[in-house]
Amino acid sequence: MEYVITIGEIAKTLLSSIARLIGHLISYNTNIKNLEKELQKLVDKKATEVDPRVDEAERNLEIIAESVIRWQKEVDDINQKGKEFLENDIEVINKCLNGLCPDPKSLYSLSRKAKEMTKKVLGLLQEAAKFDEITHPGPPPKIGSTFITEGIRDFESRESIKNEVWEALKDDKLSMISICGIGGVGKTTMVKQLVQEVERQKLFDEVAMAVVSQTPNIKKIQGDIASCLSLKLDDESELTRAGKLRQRLINCGKRILLILDDVWSELDFEKIGLPSRGERKGHTIMLTSRNKDVCNKMGSEKNFPVDVLTNEEAWDLFGEMAGISIDHHLHHTATEIANECGGLPIAIVNCKGIKKQKEKHLG
């Protein structure tokens, strides 16, 4: 009788183990299918919705939110782990078909792991649903990066002036300086070279520049400066825009170089929104103008006059543009062209006489 009971208990235990195995196997299959389905949803979400938005934002020089970058990485990681896990699942199924199923404990462990991975996948899907703004505007490119100064000839007569202006920019006691000279003499070119050096050496935290011209457009000047400073100005009145710009300049706690290029007449700083002399803490305003008196009226504390090129510099520039060397045969021609151009670099570069000399020389 005891022998029969023992057999019965063994059978009962065996049937119970088989039932548990079947239960774990069913649960395992369910969890595996859920993992496959949700993982595919996540991969599709990244590939068709998030990645394209990130790519477009990067093309537009926008900054990607750190949470989005982290999310992309986590999706790639869980996708890789999920693929490896599912490949292992195929081996488990094949073994079961051959009568080599893992023990219930191992099967339960695999099933639980699949469930945990699915939970993480669902969490990433929920997080992606909250991605309203995945980027924010990046800082504007540095002004110096927009200037092409490579190949610009450095003349001795300019270098000394440029060095003096550089020293003035480093002088905290000077809040406004100016570069003066007739049109085409190279004032703006010098400013561009100085701006690139300022940015290389980080002399100022920010640099803003606006071209004023003979007929100043206050809103355009405000907009150009604001754009350099990443300040958004809506299409409001000049007065409102001036108030915002002024507050941005005096309350930011940064050293700012403000450049007003091609100034023809005295400007109303209050109307534009530029700080007064007493408010320029760490700020420097640099003007370029054809008229030194205008700069003096605006409060320039130091003026740097730029004269025309010397005869030798003009001859050398002519020869460089024409692609020829100035020997005694061409000295008279070079002198005539230099005189005709008034020693102005821009006039020499664009002189028709250079084209004729090129053709004659090449012919």
pTM for this model (two decimals) = 0.64
Tens digits of per-residue pLDDT, 186-209?
899 899 999 999 999 999 999 999
**Which SS3 state, helix, strand or coil, does residue 51 take?**
helix
Determine how many CB atoms are found less than 10 A away from the CB of residue 337: 24
In the chain the beta strands, taken as DSSP E runs, fall at 63-64, 135-136, 176-180, 206-213, 256-263, 284-289, 302-305
Determine how many CB atoms are found less than 10 A away from the CB of residue 187: 24
Quick check: 245 and 210 in contact, CB under 8 A?
no
The amino acid occupying position 101 is C
**pLDDT, the chain, mean:** 81
What are the domain boundaries of the chain? 2-136, 143-305, 311-362
Q: What is the architecture of the domain spanning 143-305? A: 3-Layer(aba) Sandwich (3.40)
Q: Beta strand 135-136 with 176-180: parallel, antiparallel or unpaired?
A: unpaired
Task: Please name which of 267, 295, 286, 288 lies closest in space to residue 177, comparing C-alpha atoms.
Answer: 286
pLDDT at 163 > cutoff 70: yes
> What distance in Å separates the CA atoms of residue 44 and residue 61, rounded to the nearest whole number?
25
Structure letter (DSSP) for residue 213:
E
Tens digits of per-residue pLDDT, 244-267?
999 999 888 889 999 999 999 999
